[in-house]
């Protein structure tokens, strides 16, 4: 897909489809001097007829007289001008992108990025629009014998206000392209089944990332190497599986000073979570192939930042394992020693995410990171609390938490903070080890983060529990690509 900013003062240019907004009361949005009179008349007539009421997200494809420069027009309802906020804008962009990719149009001219959005600028709208266009083009067909019909769209011209800062808008286009690319990488990995997307498959993809990008170096640690590092907690999770566990380290160096301290991302990569000996019940267990979506979002984010060439260093650590029951599997009551030296009583083998993450988080210390963000489908309790709408966030640093919250609101890839009060820590007491791996039935998302917090004392850390937001269930079952938009924006904001 190719994107370009409109270079002329008029929308009266050859294109397969011109996309225009329609307000519910005032009609067509485009200024009259930008449209050819036959086009404006046609649109006004359609709106007057009542076929397009301008309700938010409504779309209508209109054919225009042969004399017009565009073959067709896609009208998109914008709703009430006084209520046109960020979420309304995303709804409009999503509806327009979806409708556009249903048409046979190969080229489009989209006049939506200049719309007045409450508390947002044109750069924000441009990034959202390009992200939504990219997402509308996404198809999962890797494991289908009949490949999906690819949408015809291959290029879009984005209209801008005449006085717009074009450098800023071109950067905004680049950001939207990188974010949607990163999301599609994350979605593909998430959607792949557990028998294909294994720990070693994730490692291969990460190595490929290093081959494709000069600024990325990938290292893959085998079980033997992890044994030497004394990662007894991580290794305990894969014990029951014939798939070997992997620790994947992806280093992106974009800073002019290659020794500049990195930002660190840590991803949970459980390629299938049966629960282990604490076996899950059968219903819906297939969705536990998505238990590597934290790792997938990290891979997507690394892809995106490499494409953008951000001037910072970022190091990603992915803990990949398959959680299976077998005669070699870890049993409830087993005690393991983590890389930190802390001993852990594994009371429930289904609380395996924290077991792989704690060793990855200890490993991250060696990079002397500026911040560490881990991303994990960690607890069913996060789904119970926030549903599919918000990611749960917990942090040992208030400034980092506030930064992520604000960016979540800005990008609409939202996160809400839960407390990490000391009072919850005692729920993890064990009579037999330094710490237990579960905290009982109460405050499940918080006690999981409390467990991780025992391994993150040496740096500023935030934990994103994406159990509810990483994929959708039901008829729209599939990975969402979240929280790639949040992570990319966080890293775009950081200084070298």
Which residues contribute to the site for Mn ion (CB under 5 A)?
A: 273, 350, 352
Other Cβ atoms less than 10 A from the Cβ of 402: the count is 12
Verify whether residue 342 is a known catalytic residue.
no
Closest C-alpha among 484, 463, 271 to residue 376: 463
In angstroms, give the least distance from the CB of 378 to Zn ion: 7
The answer to the question of residue 345 lying near ligand BES (CB under 6 A) is: no
Query: What whole-number distance in Å separates Cα of residue 158 and Cα of residue 113?
Result: 7
Identified binder of Zn ion from the candidate list 132, 223, 251, 291, rule CB under 5 A: 291
**Rounded to 5 degrees, what are φ and ψ at 156?**
-135, 135
Nearest alpha-carbon partner for 489 in 159, 131, 186, 102: 131
Cβ atoms 206, 195 nearer than 8 A: no
Determine if 353 is a binding residue for Zn ion (CB under 5 A). Answer: yes
Q: Which stretch binds ligand BES (CB under 6 A): 217-225, 235-243, 374-382, 402-410?
A: 374-382
Nearby residues of 378 by Cβ (< 8 Å), 6 or more positions away: 268, 353, 354, 357, 445, 448, 449, 463, 465, 467
Active-site pick, 280, 307, 342, 458: 280
- Considering the rule CB under 6 A, would residue 467 count as an interface residue with ligand BES? yes
Q: Output b/e per residue, 141-166; b: 16+ Cβ within 10 A.
A: eeeeeeeeeebbbeebbbbbeeebee
**Candidate residues 10, 348, 397, 494; the one interacting with ligand BES per rule CB under 6 A:** 348
Q: Which residue, 350 or 489, has its beta carbon nearer to ligand BES?
A: 350
Residue among 114, 160, 111, 127 at smallest CA distance from 411: 127
Q: Does residue 322 touch Zn ion according to CB under 5 A?
A: no
Output the furthest CA–CA distance in the chain (Å, rounded).
Answer: 83
Single residue of 30, 158, 221, 351 touching ligand BES by CB under 6 A = 351
CB of 351 to ligand BES, least distance (A): 4
Q: What is the size of the binding site for ligand BES (CB under 6 A)?
A: 16
Catalytic residue among 72, 90, 354, 370: 354
- Beta strand ranges found along 80-215 (DSSP E): 107-111, 155-158
Coil/strand/helix, residue 11 = coil
Active site residue 482: no
Q: Which alpha helices (DSSP H) does 137-212 contain, by range?
A: 166-191, 199-212
CB 320 to Zn ion: min, Å: 12
What is the closest distance, in whole angstroms, from the C-beta atom of residue 359 to Mn ion in the complex? 16
Q: How far is the CB of 273 from Mn ion (least distance, A)?
A: 4
Identify which of residues 223 and 273 has a Cβ nearer to Mn ion in the complex.
273
Q: Does 178 bind ligand BES (CB under 6 A)?
A: no
Site string for Zn ion, 295-314 (x = CB under 5 A): --------------------
| Residue 319 engages ligand BES in binding (rule: CB under 6 A) | no
Residues 6+ apart with CB under 8 A from 363: 229, 231, 247, 317, 339
The residues that touch Zn ion, with contacts defined as CB under 5 A, are 270, 273, 291, 353
Q: Which residues are catalytic?
A: 280, 354
The residues that touch ligand BES, with contacts defined as CB under 6 A, are 273, 291, 348, 350-353, 377-381, 383, 438, 444, 467
């Amino acid at each position: 897909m190719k994107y370009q900013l409109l270079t002329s003062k008029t929308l009266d240019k050859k294109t397969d489809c011109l996309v225009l907004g329609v307000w519910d009361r005032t009609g067509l949005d485009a200024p009259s001097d930008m449209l050819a009179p036959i086009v404006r008349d046609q649109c006004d007539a359609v709106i007057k007829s009542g076929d397009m009421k301008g309700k938010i997200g409504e779309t209508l494809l209109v054919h225009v007289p042969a004399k017009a420069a565009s073959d067709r027009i896609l009208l998109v309802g914008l709703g009430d001008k006084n209520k046109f906020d960020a979420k309304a804008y995303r709804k409009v962009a999503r509806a327009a992108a979806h409708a556009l990719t249903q048409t046979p149009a190969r080229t489009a001219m989209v006049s939506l990025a200049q719309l007045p959005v409450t508390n947002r600028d044109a750069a924000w709208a441009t990034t959202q629009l390009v992200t939504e266009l990219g997402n509308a083009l996404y198809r999962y067909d890797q494991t289908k014998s009949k490949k999906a019909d690819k949408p015809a769209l291959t290029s879009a011209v984005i209209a801008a206000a005449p006085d717009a800062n074009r450098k800023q808008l071109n950067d905004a286009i680049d950001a939207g392209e990188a974010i949607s690319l990163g999301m599609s990488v994350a979605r593909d990995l998430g959607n792949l089944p557990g028998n294909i997307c294994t720990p070693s498959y994730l490692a291969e993809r990460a190595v490929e990332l290093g081959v494709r990008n000069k600024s990325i170096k990938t290292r893959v640690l085998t079980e033997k190497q992890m044994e030497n590092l004394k990662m007894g907690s991580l290794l305990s999770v894969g014990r029951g599986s014939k798939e070997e566990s992997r620790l994947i380290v992806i280093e992106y160096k974009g800073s002019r000073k290659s020794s500049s301290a990195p930002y660190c991302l840590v991803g949970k990569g459980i390629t299938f979570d049966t629960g282990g000996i604490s076996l899950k019940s059968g219903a819906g267990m297939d969705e536990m192939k998505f238990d590597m979506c934290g790792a997938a979002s990290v891979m997507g984010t690394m892809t995106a930042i490499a494409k953008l060439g951000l001037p910072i260093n970022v190091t990603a650590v992915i803990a990949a394992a398959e959680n299976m029951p077998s005669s070699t599997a870890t049993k409830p009551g087993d005690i393991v020693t983590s890389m930190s030296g802390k001993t852990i009583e594994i009371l429930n083998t289904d609380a395996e995410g924290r077991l792989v993450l704690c060793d990855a988080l200890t490993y991250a210390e060696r990079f002397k990171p500026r911040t560490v963000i881990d991303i994990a489908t960690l607890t069913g309790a996060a789904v119970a609390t926030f549903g599919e709408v918000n990611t749960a966030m917990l942090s040992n640093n208030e400034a980092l938490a506030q930064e992520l919250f604000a960016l979540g609101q800005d990008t609409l890839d939202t996160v809400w903070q839960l407390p990490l009060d000391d009072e919850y820590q005692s729920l993890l007491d064990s009579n037999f080890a330094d710490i237990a791996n579960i905290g009982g039935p109460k405050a499940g998302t918080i006690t999981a983060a409390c467990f991780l917090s025992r391994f993150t004392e040496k740096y500023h850390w935030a934990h994103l529990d994406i159990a509810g937001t990483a994929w959708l269930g039901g008829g729209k079952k599939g990975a969402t690509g979240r929280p790639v938009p949040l992570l990319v924006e966080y890293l775009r904001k950081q200084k070298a």
